[in-house]
Structure 1
Amino acid sequence: MGHMLTISNNGTSVDAYLSGPAGEPRGGLIVIHEVWGLVDHTRAVADRFAAEGYLVLAPDLLSGTGMTPELATELQSTLFDPEQRSKAQPKLREVMAPLHAPDFAERTMASLQACFEHLHALPELGGRVAVTGFCFGGTYSFSLATREPRLRAAAPFYGHADLPLEQLRNIGCPVLAFYGEKDAALVDRLPWLERLMDEAGVDFTPVVYPGTGHAFFNDTNDWTYDGVASEDAWQRTLGFLAKNLAS
């Protein structure tokens, strides 16, 4: 349904998957992948949004880190299996090491900014651009919202928002955030985040799904996927986008 292209802006280039609707787009959407990189699942999610009328860019933010689709499949199948998790963790730490490099976050934000500028400049979108993302992508959805005042909406899925108040105050768009109840690392801190978002004046709506954990939306992960929560989050996201990307 879509195709790869290279987005360039202000000295930054990033490869991205572009998927669009058959007719006039309802708006632009950046879809940020999980920590597994731009795998087929992310492309499928982009295509689903495109089928709903959105022009979607899903950037490849982990190329060059060693995270290949084959390795992603291997790690995902073992990391969530209690009996094999210990075997997967050393390899995951090795592959994730580049993400902790001092300049990785800034390079990633520059790539996301390039994607935003590409969509925002398209006349048919009229500046109507939103972001969503999962895990790694959920975290960077929060970050892009703090950096880009022209963003219309942000819908992070199980992302971290360990950001200071002064950065959260830069968020000018509504945020609809999704969590699984068993994802303690995020849910335990959610009351703190809600207080901080309120103090920052952010329109922040968290949704927590009982009985689910991290990655509940990923239907390629048999260990984590929850069909009921996934469908509810999908419908909520579509409503959220329709409301905030309306002309």
Structure 2
Amino acid sequence: MGQMIELTAADGFKLGAYRADPDGTPKGAIVVVQEIFGVNGHIRNVADGFAAEGYVAIAPAIFDRAQPGIELGYDQAGVDAGIKARSAIPLDGTLADLQAAIDAVEDVGKVGIVGYCWGGTLAFAAAGRLAGLSAAVGYYGGQIVSSFLDVEPQIPIILHFGETDHGIPLTDVQKIIDRYPTLPIHTYQAGHGFNCDQRGSYDKPSAELALTRTLEFFRQHLV
């Protein structure tokens, strides 16, 4: 359904992005932010799913600043390589790449952002730091508390967390609730990565419920 395109960030850096367009007139656009495994088959499938729901979906390859074309699997080697790539990229560069993706699809209507794992953290950061967004959704963003708890979201945002996520204790989720008591936060009887059907932690009921809530949220705010 989609294809790779090239984006140019404000600092002149060129990166790849997977773009999937819907049949017919778009309802809006959604920036899909990867986990630490790159714009791999799963993330492309996620983008295709949003396109099937009527949105232009674009997944910027934010690891391109470390190495172009990174696509990793969900084994320990993939985890290690993903952490290494993430640590090699300055946050300002990553945010510039996300802004380039937003700018690339703003012509189709309102733009939302959804992110998973590292992308969930970035979606939260984007809600407070980037321009051109109308809604944000974060899935199990593990560094919100440690790095971005003082970032004030400027747009509507919802967050999804697994109740048995060994990397994100419920005490961290409570810190977000305490800091932003009106921010909708949903928890699920699942672990980290419960949305990804290529991971052992995949939990279909939780993934389907979270997607239902996400799509309803975007239908409400990308109009």
Same fold (TM over 0.5): yes
SS in 2 for 1:234: helix
User: 1:182: which partner in 2?
Assistant: 164
SS in 1 for 2:125: helix
User: 1:59: which partner in 2?
Assistant: 60
Whether the aligned pair in 2 keeps the contact of 1:134 and 1:159 (CA below 8 Å) is yes
Distance in 1 (CA, whole Å) between partners of 2:13 and 2:70 is 22
SS in 2 for 1:45: helix
User: 1:136: which partner in 2?
Assistant: 118
User: 1:84: which partner in 2?
Assistant: none
Distance in 1 (CA, whole Å) between partners of 2:95 and 2:9 is 12
Alpha-carbon offset, residue 145 of structure 1: 1.0
What is the root-mean-square deviation of aligned Cα atoms in Å? 2.0
User: 2:3: which partner in 1?
Assistant: 3
User: 2:90: which partner in 1?
Assistant: 104
Taking a change above 3 Å as real, the CA distance of residues 67 and 116 of structure 1, as seen in their structure-2 partners, is: closer
SS in 1 for 2:158: strand
Whether the aligned pair in 2 keeps the contact of 1:29 and 1:132 (CA below 8 Å) is yes
Where in structure 2 are the equivalents of 1:36-55 lying within 5 Å? 36-55=37-56
Taking a change above 3 Å as real, the CA distance of residues 62 and 164 of structure 1, as seen in their structure-2 partners, is: closer
Alpha-carbon offset, residue 196 of structure 1: 1.2
Alpha-carbon offset, residue 168 of structure 1: 2.1
Q: 1:219 aligns with which of 193, 197, 215?
A: 197
Return 5+ residue gaps in structure 1 as ranges.
80-87
TM-score (norm 1): 0.81
Taking a change above 3 Å as real, the CA distance of residues 49 and 195 of structure 1, as seen in their structure-2 partners, is: same
Q: Percent identity?
A: 30
Return 5+ residue gaps in structure 2 as ranges.
none
User: 1:168: which partner in 2?
Assistant: 151
Distance in 1 (CA, whole Å) between partners of 2:214 and 2:22 is 17
Aligned: 1:191 with 2:169: no
Distance in 2 (CA, whole Å) between partners of 1:66 and 1:15 is 8
Distance in 1 (CA, whole Å) between partners of 2:56 and 2:81 is 35
User: 1:228: which partner in 2?
Assistant: 205
Letter in 2 for 1:25: P
TM-score (norm 2): 0.90
Query: Max radius of gyration: which structure?
Result: 1
Taking a change above 3 Å as real, the CA distance of residues 213 and 147 of structure 1, as seen in their structure-2 partners, is: same
User: 1:204: which partner in 2?
Assistant: 183
Whether the aligned pair in 1 keeps the contact of 2:115 and 2:139 (CA below 8 Å) is yes
SS in 2 for 1:131: strand
Where in structure 2 are the equivalents of 1:12-91 lying within 5 Å? 12-63=13-64, 64-65=66-67, 68-69=70-71, 72-73=72-73, 76-77=74-75, 79=76, 88=77
Q: Which has the higher helix share?
A: 1
Taking a change above 3 Å as real, the CA distance of residues 20 and 232 of structure 1, as seen in their structure-2 partners, is: same
